[in-house]
Amino acid sequence: MRIAMIGTGYVGLVSGACFSEFGVSVVCVDQDRAKILRLERGEMPIFEPGLEQLVGANRAAGRLAFTTDLNAAVSGADAVFIAVGTPSRRGDGHADLSHVFAAAEEIGAALAESGAGRTVVVTKSTVPVGTGRRVEQILGERLPAGRFDVASNPEFLREGSAIEDFMRPDRVVIGTDSEHAKEVLGALYRPLYLLETPIVFTALETAELIKYAANAFLATKITFINEVADLCEALGADVQDVARGIGLDGRIGRKFLHAGPGFGGSCFPKDCQALVRTAEEAEAPFRIVDTVLKVNEARKRRMAERIERICGGVEGLTIAALGLTFKPNTDDMRDSPSLSILPALAAAGARVRAFDPEGMAEANKLMPEIDYCADPYETMKGADALVLITEWNAFRALDLGRVRQLLNQPLVIDLRNIYKPEEMRAAGLQYHSIGRGQVTPS
């Protein structure tokens, strides 16, 4: 089987590499010639654990190739996946579908020119309900019925564990009205049948909505436990015990019940916004998700105020921050809480020093007022407070005695609840976390 993947961003590159690992012949296409040249040299444009090795192995095996020539990639392909960006549109929060529709037009022109047989065109990008029908219209302007089929196959990849998520997914969702598309995509995902992975076939519109509904629910779950954490602090309860107590209920589940500074990343914020706008236009307001967005944005802003309050003001202080990306095991800075927290501290008069294992190059473009350091301990040397923003593994076992020695003041503010309060007390550190109260040195 042969497929083309249009777009070598996060979704396209990971999906293309993983399909090639299944034994499929994959050609990934991108207009960015510099990116394609980097990929051909084995240089990854994103950080994702295991991706470089996966790409290298399948390129060496001849199953994975990169090109800027969309016509050549599409010609003879059994399926063509559209995996281009759908960022939030400025002004109204809708998903910007211009790249999706432009790709559909190019695919239609390429298929018309090639005279190839029947091709399944699949939207892999996260798109609002109705996008697949518009792609169908665009293709139909150039191709006769029977030359193409349209399907939706939304991705459910978590940055930092995307390869595992692709290879061992909870489910695969395929939306299409075409029996031929079902057969082609069913064959493409056949290796997952060995793992008894559920393959959910739905209507086109249903598949598009499933992706948005899933992300909105997870964002709601995060926001819920964050508000529970605030209540725990007010009442003297422990949010981690509450999360465990409710998470053991099979109807609720343990995942996404970790209190923190608010969600970020490339998916939850923009997908929630797009769902809210879609619901408004359908005259079926999604009030819960609208509130989730507002609460989450306010929470990220309040984290800077929280740090200022704990420090008794930050003007003239040096603040050490560990973690810049929105989550560990990625270099993605999009909508990261650090982008709200650290500039606010700098604006309040603090000198901010920071370290992140993968995110500093991008962070430096977005926050040039921050000083970036070579390692965690250099960051905290002579600082008046240490703030933990992202829960990288590299920060989970810091030498607490050394931390105490390096800091001017023995103050640690943990926005991810990485450490146990008792060990921080024993190390002589004043410790503030989320939803668990304050710990003073013993």
Summarised one tens digit per residue, pLDDT across range 237-289 is 999 999 999 999 999 999 999 999 999 998 999 999 999 999 999 999 999 99
Which range (82-91, 242-251, 307-316) has the least confidence?
82-91
Range of lowest pLDDT (110-119, 408-417, 426-435): 110-119
Question: Measured between alpha carbons, how far is 4 from 10 in angstroms, rounded to an integer?
Answer: 15
Q: Which residues are catalytic?
A: 267
Owner of token pair 């309900």: 129
Instruction: Give per-residue pLDDT as tens, 218-227.
Output: 999 999 999 9
**Beta carbons within 8 Å of 163's beta carbon, 6+ residues apart:** 14, 17, 18, 48, 49, 50, 51, 54
Residue 442 pLDDT exceeds 90: no
Kindly indicate the confidence band of residue 195, based on its pLDDT and cuts at 50, 70 and 90. confident
User: For residues 218 and 236, what is the distance between their CA atoms, to the nearest angstrom?
Assistant: 26
Average pLDDT, the chain: 96
Q: Where are the beta strands (DSSP E) in 31-78?
A: 64-67
User: In the prediction, which pLDDT does 266 show?
Assistant: 86
- pLDDT, residue 312, reads 97
- Alpha carbon distance 150, 435 (integer Å): 47
Please provide residue 20's backbone torsions phi and psi, each rounded to the nearest 5 degrees. -65, -30
Output the pLDDT for position 89.
83
Angle at 76 between CA 203 and CA 37, to 5 degrees: 100
Paired with 79 in beta bridges are 3, 120
Confidence of residue 90 (pLDDT cuts 50, 70, 90): confident
Q: Which residues pair with 228 in a beta bridge?
A: none
pLDDT band of 155, cuts 50, 70, 90 = very high
Quick one: what percent of the chain has pLDDT higher than 90? 94
Between the CA of residue 347 and those of 48, 195, 200, 308, 326, what are the distances in Å? 33, 52, 50, 11, 21
State the pLDDT at residue 181: 98
pTM for the complete prediction? 0.93
pLDDT class for 335, splitting at 50, 70, 90?
very high
